[in-house]
Structures are given as C-alpha cells and as structure tokens.
Amino acid sequence: MSDIKTVYTRLGKISLRVSFLFAILFISFSCRDASQGKKNSFECPGLFPGVERPDSVARVFAPGLISTYNFEFSLIIHPCQKRIYYNIFERANSRYSVFMVEEVNNVWNKPRKVFSDKYNNILCAVSSDGNTLYFYSDRPSRFGNGDLLAHSDIWVRQMGKGEPDTLQNIGTPINTRIRELSLSVSHKNVIYYYSSDSNYKTSIYSSSFSGGIYTAPEIMGSEINDSEDAHNPCIAPDESYIIFTSYRTGGFGDADLYISFHRSDGTWTQAKNMGPEINSSSQDDFATLSPDGNYLFFSTDRNSKGYCDIYWISTNIIEKLKPKD
C-alpha cells in the first residue's frame, strides 16, 4: 500500500489509505426501484431534486451512485446539471480515470469511463458553456513524457458541435517542462492552476485568455502561496474568492481547505481555514462549485474506512467566512 500512498501524496499531497480488501464496486441507481415499488434516494430530473440538500453540515454526495467503495474525487457538474464528471483511482490498474454519470429520460445511468487509454487523466473543470473539459495528464507532449511524478500537462477536451471530441494540449505559456496541474476557470476565462517543481514545492498561478492565447502566468501572492504549499485551486465564477488546499500549520491535522477573498482594489485577503464545518482531521481536498454557486463539493476520507468520498455543503458558509471590513 505504501507505493500507492506515495504516488498520490506527491500528486496532490493526499493520503490514500486505500484498502486491499475491496475491489472496485459500481452501483447504479434509477429514479425508482421497480422491484420494490419504492423511490430510492435519487429522484430525477435535474441534480437529484428529491434529495435532502445540505446546509451547514456537509453530507456525502450521491452515496451508492458516485460515492462508493472506490476512491472518488474532483467532481464537476456540467452546466446543464444532467451530467456529472468525477475521478476514480482505479485500484486494478493503479490509474486515475475520469467517469461520468448522466441523466437520460429521468434515469441516472451507471458510471461510465470518459477516457479509455493507458494514461492518467485527472479532471479539473468544465467551461461555462459546457463544451470544454479541462484535465491534466501524463500523456506525452512536446513538453515532456513520463508518469505524474515526473511530468504532467494541462489538456482540454472539446466536445459537441456535431463533431468528434478532440484532445488538445493547452500549450505555452501554461505548460512547461515541470508539472502543471488542477486548473479552475472563471466565467471570464481566467484560469487558476498550480505548478509543482522538481522538489514538489507547489504554487498557484493565474492567466487570462485573450485574443486566442493565454497571457504569461502570474504567481499569486503570499496571502495564498505561503512558504509551505498551496494547490488544487477552485476559483469562484466571478473571481470573488478562491478556495484551495494546503497542509500549512494551524489546520485540523491533515490537508485542509482554505479561502481567500478578492478585494475591490484587486488584492486578496489573507487565506483563512474554512473551519470544522468543512475540514476534519482527515484529508479534505479538491474543492469545486455547483453551476448555480449554491453548493461546494470536496473530497474527504473521513468516515469512509480508507476510501475517499465526495461531500457537499451549502455555500452559505462562504458568506460567513467573509471579512467584516
């Protein structure tokens, strides 16, 4: 188990604690259990409207459908709210793969793999129009080859428009010969991502998309990038705040989620731990937001007997964390 733990720890500094006793288990749910004539915990259409929504207490998201006896993380909801993408660490081949569940005719289909190849593919974000998936991968490029410990680039997958899906390296000046990972994108096509050097020191950067190209990346300030680490950013669609993961001192015992707010003068507030409503003594990581901005999703291995599940909580908690001044 130590070799798997080392890979994932260096990838995002996340402990796996993956048990060898269980195989990958997918459990698909329809909107109604016909065999017993009862509704199960998922009702359609839409994003599970029959499910009790979380408020100030985080809940497991879609238990049995998405949160199972697998290692799930990095959940992204398509703007139409009828497709949900997320990652699974596939124990059988020690690979990170992107899966999707889709609501068709009021039924949520069982998870299916979006990428079927020999590379590690880790989902980052989806564009506001729903036509572009952002992910990072160790697939070969002109910037480097190798596994995720040696090199990774950010890629995009263009979808729809009546044409076959296409994969494209996001290119310079974002990708380099070191590791670029975990992109988040605002409604203005400003991207936030983190880079990891050969010593696995991580820092968060931003870049704007203008005139068909990305501007030179700018490293974020010490309010976010401290001397310890900052990774896996999640930018609010309007860029009013950024959530990210860090192991900095003063947390709850392992990786925690932190938040920084964008001031009107363009500066950022000092990052603040998001507190016990979200963070725990376990790994708390991979924050994302629902398309309507009402819910925060994150991955954690609390209460999961060694597996990582996806939790959600109301973003009302973010309002409570805003500075008073």
- CATH number assigned to the domain comprising residue 30: 2.120.10.30
Which pTM was predicted? 0.84
Domain around 172: 2-321
What is the DSSP secondary-structure string of 58-71?
-EESSBTTTBSSSE
CA distance 226 to 212: 32
- Number of domains into which the chain is organized: 1
Task: Report which of 237, 279, 287, 294 is spatially closest to residue 55, judged by C-alpha positions.
Answer: 294
Spell out the SS3 assignment of 172-230: CCCCCCCEEEEEEECCCCEEEEEEECCCCCEEEEEEEEECCEECCCEECCCCCCCCCCC
Beta-carbon-side half-sphere exposure of residue 36 (alpha carbons within 13 Å):
7
CA distance 191 to 126: 11
Q: In Å, what is the CA distance from 172 to each residue of 27, 130, 199?
A: 41, 23, 22
pLDDT tens-place values along the chain, 325 residues long: 333 333 344 344 433 332 222 222 222 222 222 222 333 333 334 566 567 788 889 999 988 889 888 899 999 999 988 899 999 998 888 889 999 998 888 788 899 998 878 899 999 999 888 889 999 999 999 998 877 878 899 999 988 665 567 889 999 999 999 899 999 999 999 999 999 877 778 999 999 998 889 999 999 999 999 877 899 999 999 999 999 999 988 889 889 999 999 999 999 999 999 999 999 999 999 999 998 899 999 999 887 666 789 999 999 999 999 988 6
pLDDT of residue 47: 64
pLDDT of residue 73: 93
CA distance 15 to 7: 9
**Residue 83's CB: how many other CB atoms inside 10 A?**
18
